[in-house]
Structure 1
């Protein structure tokens, strides 16, 4: 009986010791937190940091928070852009299964230009045929037959009619507006392999025999090409292309001279910054466009 009573006393003593140590530890932590807070209060209220310094510290913290938020948003944009690019590539691949002549798709934000891009054995067939090879008075959007067709040439030229009532490449005239280029300077080319993004650097009226449609330029030819751009570019404050740039040229007819051309340089960024492209556009947008007996030039 005495032994049991002794065990109970020892157990009770152990419990009391544990409670004492626990409470003492909590009090110690609370004291430490209190003194830390009190020291910080005294520090900020003392002359060791004035109001200007406090604002400077707050601004540093604010900029750090903004930097983290900006990095987060950029990553979200990149993820969404990568998803859109994958959808664009898959769209072209699916289109190619039925129409192997399709080499890609061209989209220019702010315009109605959203077409499959094809390539034929000459530059005549698609003047009055659509991407599916059926007759269409307005024609298709097609790559010059002398080019490789995979946008690997130094310069890839794409043709399309300038239809007076607004079809095909008529909306390229929007680049004559100085304000348009400020918001809409990108050309998207989706291929079966990847999305290619080009920055518009030139809009010019040229003669049909001007040398703006070469797929490759040697050094002397390229100097003449730069001169042609410099003398005819209606866009302001746009850089000249470099010889190792990948170029995209959109060519259509013009009332000013024989031809009107848009020149763009491939961008080095891994993703498109604009977020108002609608991918994938409905297949209905590529349904047979009704042929009309309208004036083209």
Structure 2
């Protein structure tokens, strides 16, 4: 009982400790949320004194209108100054042109026309030469395209469809592997073979060899074997006679059915 009571007290103390930790955690979260709320309120109050986006847009529009007016005024002023300077320049040229010596404008025009005519004639000749080269290149291209159409794949000399090998107009058959070359006979050597001569024997050795008697010839082994007709059969290899007579089976005669079906019986009116 005491042990159970101690265990119960220990569990209760653990639960109390966990409850205290949970309460502290919740309190900390609540304090953090209050601090965040306070910071957000301070930031909102600080931003309240700043101008809004609408104010900034209005200010930008006003500055844009002022710059447009300034550029318009500047362009008008510059255009007026340019017109004034142009008018002053033309007036100065006109006032000084009357004081210059008169010149022959038609002569200058004729000389310029003659020089220009030579240049134009030269340019026209180059253009004609380029045109002839272009025609020659076009002719060569046409001839090459015609040759390609004839000799290329699908053309006149190499159509898409070809006869099979061995057929008239088709490629030749595959001759297969070439036969091996015939073996040439081996050439005779250039050196001549000379048999070795036996060493010379003395006269005494010759006489001794002649005095020795010759041995009798060995008997022919074929005469020692008897003929096969005199052999006796082995009783162990004699076949056993049959226990009953062989039966002969008769096979019925099946004639040919004929070209137009089975034949008529022998006793028909036509067969007699």
> What TM-score bracket applies, with the shorter chain setting the length?
under 0.3
- Scaled by the length of structure 2, what TM-score is found? 0.22
Q: Which has the higher contact order (CA 8 A, sep 6+)?
A: 1
Higher Cα radius of gyration: 2
Structure number with higher strand proportion: 1
Structure number with higher helix proportion: 2
- Scaled by the length of structure 1, what TM-score is found? 0.20
